[in-house]
Amino acid sequence: MVDPSSQKILLKFLKNNMTINFRSNITPTWCPGCHNFLVFAALQKNLTDLSINRDNLVINYDIGCAANMADFLNTYGAHTLHGRSIAVAMGEKIANPKLTVIVIGGDGGIYGEGLNHLVTATRSNINIKVFVSNNFLYSLTTGQTSPTTPFGAHTKSTPNGNINVPIDPVKLLKTVNPKIFVKSVDCKDIPSLNQTIKEALEFEGFALVDMIQECVAFGKQLKTVQK
């Protein structure tokens, strides 16, 4: 969990030190301590450090807590439908290959509803960048199981324990196409989070960063796993 005082310092830093400001004037509405604050800071840092031209930048947002970043970043973009953000992003990149095209979403949207689009993008190695806040739950809707929820976990939608085995996105996508960039990183490891986002943005092809998070509001139920 990010303690509220570090969060305040981060937000102050973002406000005062960004040479290119990707922030909107809307205050983030995530729960205090949500790891999406770390993703938000790391993305802005890298977009700034890499001097990404905002005129050629499009960010597509899925649905869920992470994707609410649509309100907090000030770039061209689309807040799409649940699971359809990658399909929209692929269309944009095909229509205008000069664009830097990014997707931001959660494990529910990207690995669940959107898995077909994710596999298609991986097969084609299309040059789009996908950042997934993987909190092992559908959090915006208060904590149902997602494709990464551990087997046996008692959640709001699995009161008797999750009967499904979780998917491992890195292994799955590497099997589909070993040429793509795909890495898991813990959001609390800020240097690795920054470095991995940088590597993904610089990669010439399809890149996905699986950003492991603990949802401070609904994540506790995942600790109820029974083997």
Ligand X SMILES: Cc1ncc(C[n+]2csc(CCOP(=O)(O)OP(=O)(O)O)c2C)c(N)n1
Shortest distance in whole angstroms from residue 144 CB to ligand X: 7
E strands, 56-201, in order: 57-61, 76-79, 100-106, 129-134, 137-138, 144-145, 181-186
Are 181 and 199 a contacting pair, CB within 8 Å?
Answer: yes
With CB under 5 to 8 Å by kind, the binding choice for 217 among Mg ion, ligand X, ligand SF4, none is ligand SF4
Using the rule CB under 6 A, is 214 a contact of ligand X?
no
With CB under 5 to 8 Å by kind, the binding choice for 63 among ligand SF4, ligand X, Mg ion, none is ligand X
With CB under 5 to 8 Å by kind, the binding choice for 58 among Mg ion, ligand SF4, ligand X, none is none
Are 174 and 183 a contacting pair, CB within 8 Å?
Answer: no
Shortest distance in whole angstroms from residue 122 CB to ligand SF4: 25
Q: Is 90 or 140 the residue whose CB approaches ligand X more closely?
A: 140
C-alpha torsion sign, points 183, 96, 94, 113: positive
Chosen residue from 83, 106, 143, 150 binding Mg ion by CB under 5 A: 106
Q: Can you tell me the distance from the alpha carbon of 95 to that of 44, in angstroms, rounded to the nearest whole number?
A: 25
With CB under 5 to 8 Å by kind, the binding choice for 130 among ligand X, Mg ion, ligand SF4, none is none
The number of C-alpha atoms within 13 Å of 65 and in the hemisphere containing its C-beta is 27
Q: Which of 208, 63, 195 is nearest to 128 (CA)?
A: 208
Residues 99-138, mask of contacts with ligand X (x by CB under 6 A): ------xxxxx-----------------------x-x-xx
